[in-house]
Amino acid sequence: MLDRAPPDPPPHPPRLTGLRGTLNALRNFGLVNLGTPAAGEFDSFTASDGQVVPVFVLGKGPPLVLVHGVGCSHRDWMPVARRLARRHCVLAWDARGHGHCRPVRGSITLARLATDLAEMLDHFGLQRAVLVGHSMGALTLMQYLHLHGTQRVAAVALVDQSPRIVTDDSWRLGLFGGCSAAMLSGLIAGARQDLAEALLNEVGALGGAWLRRQLGIDTSLGRMLRRRLGSIDIRPLLDLAESMAQADFRASLSRLDAPLLVVLGARSPHYAGLPLDAWYRETVKHAQISVYPRAGHSPHVSEPLRFARELERFLEDHA
């Protein structure tokens, strides 16, 4: 039921990802070595404020844009992109502050990312594009649709994302079913005060007692990582987190007039057990909803073949 009471907030905020996901996020945020871009064609465009945004381009055909989530990059889409590129021109960027999109110019907000998306469509001359977004990327698409409408949009796919991530007495379908604005503000404030401790505590907790000892403040590794992390300006990413916490796209989604596919992971650490699928069915009557029973927060990563096939069938029927 949509009106069931929300669960009690946990005494400690649930973890959004495991150790592997945390290390991958550190890599995509540029906090550890990025290595070389994935094999393929890299292009870029320059946004109106001078930010150069790298874009991975693959295949030929009708345009299809893939927008990644927080702590991810274009690489997370590659297994899906290679399949979709058989019929589409697939474009997958590294958003500001992620992957190879740095140094960051100015603050990062959902509004800025939506403007980047509009400017990317302009740069590549894309008309009637399919827009696919995961997590933060889905919020970016919601923000774009709120600001620019669907004139240039053939179809939309949203992957494991609520239209509002904070919860209160009137909204129970945000993060964990019980993550308030105050909880998120506290996490962001802690990271602003001491990013190094916040990240190393997270990695240590996920890695167990041995790793916690290696990352201690009295170890050479711990001291080196604290110096490295202390030299990084994390403010743009924390601005993005605040922007996401303030976003609410429930009303604008109710007016969406483009074909919509919603993909949810039944084991998502963010929304497992919440009737988010029912909300989408009730709010966007024409939406197609697909729930992956074994998937977590990233169904396109854990089941790329199924995801690509379902997206292609959806586009054949609706776009």
Q: What is the CATH number of the domain that holds 98?
A: 3.40.50.1820
How do residues 80-139 score in pLDDT, each as one tens digit? Answer: 999 999 999 999 999 999 989 988 888 899 999 999 999 999 999 999 999 999 999 999
> Does residue 5 form part of some domain?
no
Q: Is residue 10 part of a domain?
A: no
Percent of the chain with pLDDT over 70: 75
* pLDDT tens string 191-201: 776 655 666 56
Phi, psi at 43, each rounded to 5°: -125, -170
Position 14 in a domain:
no
* pLDDT score of 5: 43
Q: What is the pLDDT of residues 236-247, one digit of tens each?
A: 888 999 999 999
Inside any domain, residue 35: yes
- Identify the sign of the CA torsion 291, 187, 49, 28: negative
> How far apart (Å, rounded) are the C-alpha atoms in residues 86 and 78?
13
Residue predicted with more confidence, 287 or 194:
287
pLDDT value of residue 307: 98
Flag whether 264 is in a domain.
Answer: yes
The CA radius of gyration of the chain, in Å to the nearest whole number, is 19
Overall number of domains in the chain = 1
Distance CA 19, CA 268 (A): 16
- The helix/strand/coil state of 86 is coil
For the segment 215-242, what is each residue's pLDDT rounded down to a tens digit? 667 777 666 666 666 656 678 888 999 9
* Average pLDDT across the chain, whole number: 85
pLDDT band at 42 (very low <50, low <70, confident <90, very high): confident
Q: CA-to-CA distance for 96 and 110, rounded, in angstroms?
A: 11
State which residues form the domain around 159.
19-318
Nearest to 296 by CA among 261, 260, 313, 272: 272
- Domain assignment present for residue 13? The answer is no
Within-domain flag for 6 = no
Question: Long-range CB contacts (< 8 A, 24+ apart) of 74-82?
Answer: 74/38, 74/99, 75/28, 75/38, 75/99, 76/134, 76/298, 76/300, 76/301, 77/300, 78/38, 79/301, 79/304, 79/305, 80/300, 80/304, 80/307, 80/308, 80/311, 81/56, 82/58
Percentage of the chain exceeding pLDDT 90:
64
In a domain, 218, yes or no: yes
Structure tokens given for 88: 């589409």
Single pTM value for the model: 0.82
Task: Put the strands of the sheet holding 153-159 in their side by side order.
Answer: 41-46, 52-58, 89-93, 63-67, 129-134, 153-159, 260-265, 288-292
pLDDT at 244: 95
